[in-house]
Structure 1
Amino acid sequence: MSNDDISETAKAVIRRNTEEVQSGGDYALYDKLFSDNFVDHTPQPGRTPDKAGALELYQTLRTAFPDFHAVIHWQAAEGNLVTTYKTYHGTHQGEFFGMAPTGREIQFETVDAMRVVDGKITEHWGVANLFSLMEQLGARTGTP
């Protein structure tokens, strides 16, 4: 299998995670796409850096934002390491980080790098614009 084939296969796995698991809430597919030895090198606050912690984050986001979905702007891959730039969208209808629902529509950008080995996601590194998200929810009002 060529490096290009490996990259395209890995990108397809990451797209399925973004579109079907994160945006669609298909947690049975989550279990199939993520390795049991998955490591999140940049876990969100209060989450463990493993498969269970990532699933908990996904479920928390869908509970807080039931219409949570992502728009993938682009993906790039080098071998089995896929970088994705996307914008998440949703409406705040459930508790999120201790904040009561506001009914506000939100969007925030994220850049993720995920490694895929044997068709399963094994590692994650990511940066999300959570400052913007918290501003949109009214938790922060600009910079000091």
Structure 2
Amino acid sequence: MSDRTRDAERPTTNAECVARAYVETWNEQAYERIPDLVSESFVHVDPDGEEFHGREGLEGFMRAVEVGFSDFHVDVTELLADAGVVMYRGVLRMTHDGEFQGVPPTGERFEIPEMATVRVVDGVVSEHRVYYDKGAVQNRLASAEA
């Protein structure tokens, strides 16, 4: 994961370490790490409000993303952590090379700015909220499919 922080001298928090490990779990498609990194009551919230609950919900969503975008990768460019809240800015990089949400592969390549909030409670991720232009992605997939 490439990143830069505003202050290279600041101490790394436990929440920051957990959030970085969580992002790497996505990047490496390391589903076996989920039980150690996310709480049983975990919730992932997409920009349109769609939610995925618990460890199984997260794994199912991650697998669906992997099928549709096998090279899915989050490049974190800036990260701020305070107590149990981590916020990062990054770029989602992915190619639509498999079926995703009923849309057959289009070959479309995406580089999408993203912001996210990761909440860490008792050393595990309890919530992940992502913010990116999901409508633009859906529109590009629809126009490429036509």
Partners in 1 of 2:104 and 2:83 — Cα distance?
42
- Go from structure 1 to structure 2 and tell me whether the alpha carbon gap of 1:103 and 1:41 turns closer, same or farther (over 3 Å shift): closer
Structure-2 residue corresponding to 1:11: 16
Q: Aligned partner of 1:124: which letter?
A: H
Q: Distance in 2 between matches of 1:88 and 1:42?
A: 13
Structure-2 residue corresponding to 1:97: 101
Normalised to the residue count of structure 2, the TM-score between the two structures is 0.79
Residue identity in the other structure for 2:16 = K
Residue-pair matches, total:
135
State whether structure 2 residue 29 is matched by structure 1 residue 28. Answer: no
1:70 aligns with 2:74: yes
- Structure 1 stretches lacking a partner, 5+ long: none
* Aligned CA distance change for structure 1 residues 118 and 28 (closer, same or farther; 3 Å): same
Which amino acid is the alignment partner of residue 131 of structure 1?
G
Structure 2: gaps of 5 or more residues: 1-9
Q: Percent same amino acid at aligned positions?
A: 26
Q: Which amino acid aligns with 2:107?
A: G
Structure 1 stretches of 4+ moved >4 Å:
41-47
Give, in angstroms, the shift of residue 128 of structure 1. Answer: 2.3
Q: Which residue of 2 aligns with 1:118?
A: 122
Q: How far did residue 83 of structure 1 move?
A: 0.8
**Structure 2 partner of 1:39:** 43
CA distance, structure 2, for counterparts of residue 43 and residue 57 of structure 1: 14
Secondary structure of the 1:88 match is: strand
Q: Distance in 2 between matches of 1:114 and 1:25?
A: 18
Do the aligned partners of residues 43 and 104 (structure 1) sit closer, same or farther apart at CA in structure 2, a change above 3 Å counting?
Answer: closer
**Compared with structure 1, are the counterparts of its residues 69 and 51 closer, same or farther at alpha carbon in structure 2 (3 Å cutoff)?**
same
Task: State the alpha-carbon separation in 2 of the partners of residues 71 and 119 from structure 1.
Answer: 23
Q: Which amino acid aligns with 1:64?
A: G
- Bigger drift between 79-88 and 33-42 goes to 33-42
Is 1:79–2:90 an aligned residue pair? no
1:108 paired with 2:112, answer yes
Q: CA deviation at 1:81?
A: 0.6
